[in-house]
Amino acid sequence: MLLPKRLLRSLIYLIFFLTVSLFLLLLANKHQIIEINKYIPFDIFGTAAPLFFQPPSDSFIVDISFDNCFKFSFNNKRCGLPDINKGLLGDKAQWYRLRKDICLGSSWSKKQYLNYKKIKHDKYEEYLSAGKKNNKNVVDEVIIDIAVADPVNDVKIKGNEKLKLPKHIIQTFHNKQVYDDDTHASFTEQNTNNIVNAAPVDDQIQAELESEGNKDVATAEENRKEEESKKEQDDERKDAAQEDAKEKGKEAEKLKQSSEQNDNDQPKDFEEEIKPESPKDEKKDKREIVTNRNDLNRVLYVPKMEAVLKSGWRYKSNGIWLKYGPHSSKNAVSAIDLLFGYETVDPRPNWNLIKTPIIGVSNPSDLPAYITFRRGPKIDYKKEIGTTLTMNSEDKFKILQIADLHFSTGYGKCLDPQPPSSAKGCKADSRTLEFINKVLDLEKPDMVVLTGDQIFGDASPDSESSAFKALNPFVERKIPFAITVGNHDDEGSLKREEIMGLYADMPYSVAAMGPASIDGFGNYVVTVQGKSSKATALSLYFVDSHAYSKTPKVTPGYDWIKENQLIYLKQEAESIQNSVEKYRKSNKIPLAMAFFHIPLPEFRNLNQPFIGENREGVTAPRYNSGARQVLSEIGVSVASVGHDHCNDYCLQDTQQSSSPGDNKMWLCFGGGAGLGGYGGYNGYIRRMRVYELDTSKGEIKTWKRTEDNPGNIIDEQVLVSNGDVVNW
């Protein structure tokens, strides 16, 4: 039965209206114009990846499992969790879900999770004691190590063609072996002849590994036959070459004799002796060129499966092996996480990243999933790896500002690279990292300041992986760094509070979350003490400049620094005033700077002196909350921001003041550094800004380095001298 045309038309209009409304609603929620989750009884728009940066270490992990969850039921806390009786220890331990969707949002029908089963230390001790008391056969075993199989490369280890054990397990056994000369010679011969010194692999494990991994790996027998065939061909080529050489030798001798008889009067300079070709070196013919170190024929001890299982290793699924052993608060696995992308790193010093992708899971093909795990207790990086910032022996302190890295979970897409011909095959993050490392080598800064948009939310389905990649250079080099959040940092898998929490808790980070009672996350002050006293030589203020306006109808565009944040800055400045004055009494001139992401409205005052490039419109908030005036009142002489990638100028802003003298302040852009963020604007080249603060002269000097020629300094200028804003 057909619907009346009028009703059908109304239905089409209604569907169209609802579709457009839903799209606009989601778009507004994404840009934080409205927060839909406030009006919905469940957190459907909440993050699917809460922060598992440093979980508590009060439990032992005893099992893991990969499970699927129907996507529209993911808010159910039990969705995707195994039955409590499944796995080791039965109902004595609890299953927990690592809230990272392995599909990374690529599947419309499901989410896939890594679940882990853990038991608290005291409960486990009770379990063991009760078992002994009741004469039960209770085994003390928790996870103490993890290995992941590489189906392609593991089978290249001689003797491992059938077992397909992960290289990590083989290496563990190999390192424990002690050989005398005879045993080692026999062992080497065994590997040369491709004799497998191991029992056949368990049928179930063999079937699963073959279904998940590469099924086309040649067997040892096929390799042996192939080598024999090659040897026969080499022998035939050798014999043929020798016969050919003999024939050519005879022919050359005849030609030589004929030449001597017919041309006795020819000068010796024109004589040409034809020598027989020597047969090719057999060894050179057989030499193989190996381009990958994993293809090298390594002589490793391959254990029997019986020995592997006896040592505590057990195969789980998806190429993952778990090693069980007696519990220990130092050696037992206490936390597990997943990271994504071929370039992923884990800069946390007490975590172990297994750089072999998990097989048989539903991750996007270009974003492989990797297991990383922690043994032993949680480390408070602030306490264990804390650092005190101090002026150097010359009363100088160098800061490298890096703005707008725009890192991705994957390789990252290069946007507007220079020269344009370099766009082909360009990987944004690795190219940006190369630029960062070059500048770090050249400048050797005392501190790095990252002024927002470290990660590009839209390209960061796993923000943790993106953030680790961005911050790894500073952790590796043990360089203290401060950080603020931009408008893109929280558009990935982590909320603004979570991503700032990760930034603040990283090793060598001097950042802080700031008071919970004021707007934003990452409002804090960092002080640098004098070389010979603990008095405050430098005061560095960091502020969350937020993202998009919460009242777009009244004040469209970007948000602004709030009044309670400015009050907080005044209070912090007052709290360190005595320490600042104490440093001043040592015949030094204390200095102050401020860093945040989005520029102030005063950055638009381009009718005043500035040095650098102004290639794009200044995207400052339309509402002026008076932040410029407050910063001046607390002694800040230079404020530096990011956000506008293709602006890199320093502008000397002068305001009328009720007190004697002009109210001057330098307002500087750092310039976009990351290839993952936009460029363009007539061939803009990525760059970074350096500040050198000298309290013996009361001087702040700045310059920049560009990606195309980082060894060259550009736009060097003195901003402050003798504590006063100047223009030199």
- Which of the two residues, 37 and 485, has the higher pLDDT score? 485
Dihedral of alpha carbons 179, 180, 186, 189, sign: positive
Predicted pLDDT at 648: 97
Beta pairing class for 447-451 and 481-484? parallel
482 secondary structure, DSSP code = E
Which residues are CB-contacts of 406 (< 8 A; sequence separation ≥ 6)? 412, 428, 453, 455, 456, 459, 488, 674, 675, 676, 677
Q: For residue 221, give the amino acid letter.
A: E
* Alpha carbons 108 and 115: distance in angstroms, whole number: 21
* Residue 23 pLDDT grade (very low, low, confident, very high; cuts 50, 70, 90): confident
Q: Is the peptide bond before 419 cis (omega within 30 degrees of 0)?
A: yes
Write the pLDDT tens digit of every residue in 406-459. Answer: 999 999 999 999 999 999 999 999 999 999 999 999 999 999 999 999 999 889
Question: Inter-axis angle of helices 563-575 and 577-584, to 10 degrees?
Answer: 50
Q: For residue 605, give the amino acid letter.
A: N
Q: For residue 582, give the amino acid letter.
A: K
* Residue 134 pLDDT grade (very low, low, confident, very high; cuts 50, 70, 90): confident
* Alpha carbons 162 and 88: distance in angstroms, whole number: 28
- What is the residue extent of each domain of the chain? 59-195+299-375, 397-523+534-725
The predicted model gives 270-299 an average pLDDT of: 48
Structure tokens at 23: 């799209």
Structure tokens at 247: 């024939």
Write the pLDDT tens digit of every residue in 491-524. Answer: 999 999 999 999 999 999 999 999 999 999 999 9
pLDDT at 543 over 50: yes
Beta strands in 52-132 (DSSP E): 59-70, 94-98, 110-120
Q: What is the dihedral of CA 291, 295, 301, 302, to 10 degrees?
A: 160
Predicted pLDDT at 196: 42
CA distances from 178 to 174, 300, 683 (A): 9, 12, 62
Residue-wise burial string across 501-529, b where 16 or more C-beta atoms lie within 10 A, e elsewhere: bbbbbbbbbbbbbbeeebbbbbbbbbbbb
Write the pLDDT tens digit of every residue in 317-361. Answer: 999 999 999 998 889 999 999 999 999 999 999 999 999 999 999
Write the pLDDT tens digit of every residue in 286-321. Answer: 555 555 544 544 578 899 999 999 999 999 999 999
Q: What angle do CA 342, 355, 677 make, to 5 degrees?
A: 25
Cβ atoms of residues 508 and 478 within 8 Å: yes
Structure tokens at 238: 């050798």
Residue-wise burial string across 109-122, b where 16 or more C-beta atoms lie within 10 A, e elsewhere: ebbbbbbbbbbeee
* Alpha carbons 496 and 485: distance in angstroms, whole number: 8
Q: For residue 42, give the amino acid letter.
A: F
The β-bridge partners of 593 are 540, 638
Q: Map 402-418 to HEC letters.
A: EECCCECCCCCECCCCC
> What is the overall mean pLDDT for the chain?
84
Predicted pLDDT at 206: 54
Write the pLDDT tens digit of every residue in 191-225. Answer: 554 444 444 445 555 555 555 544 433 343 444 44
Write the pLDDT tens digit of every residue in 136-173. Answer: 888 999 999 999 999 999 999 989 999 999 999 999 99
What percentage of the chain reaches a pLDDT higher than 90? 66
* Alpha carbons 627 and 182: distance in angstroms, whole number: 79
| 397-523+534-725 topology per CATH | Purple Acid Phosphatase; chain A, domain 2 (3.60.21)
Q: Around Cβ 210, how many Cβ atoms within 10 Å?
A: 14
H/E element holding 575?
A: helix 563-575
Predicted pLDDT at 78: 84
Dihedral of alpha carbons 534, 535, 537, 539, sign: positive
Q: Around Cβ 426, how many Cβ atoms within 10 Å?
A: 15
Q: Map 670-727 to HEC letters.
A: CCECCCCCCCCCCCCCCEEEEEEEECCCCEEEEEEEECCCCCCEEEEEEEEECCEECC
Q: For residue 390, give the amino acid letter.
A: T
* Alpha carbons 679 and 414: distance in angstroms, whole number: 9
Write the pLDDT tens digit of every residue in 38-81. Answer: 444 333 333 322 346 788 889 999 999 999 998 777 678 788 89
- Total-model pTM: 0.79
Predicted pLDDT at 133: 87
Beta pairing class for 687-694 and 650-655? unpaired
Predicted pLDDT at 13: 83
**Burial level of 659, CB count in 10 A (0-12/13-18/19+)?**
exposed
Write the pLDDT tens digit of every residue in 95-109. Answer: 999 989 999 989 888
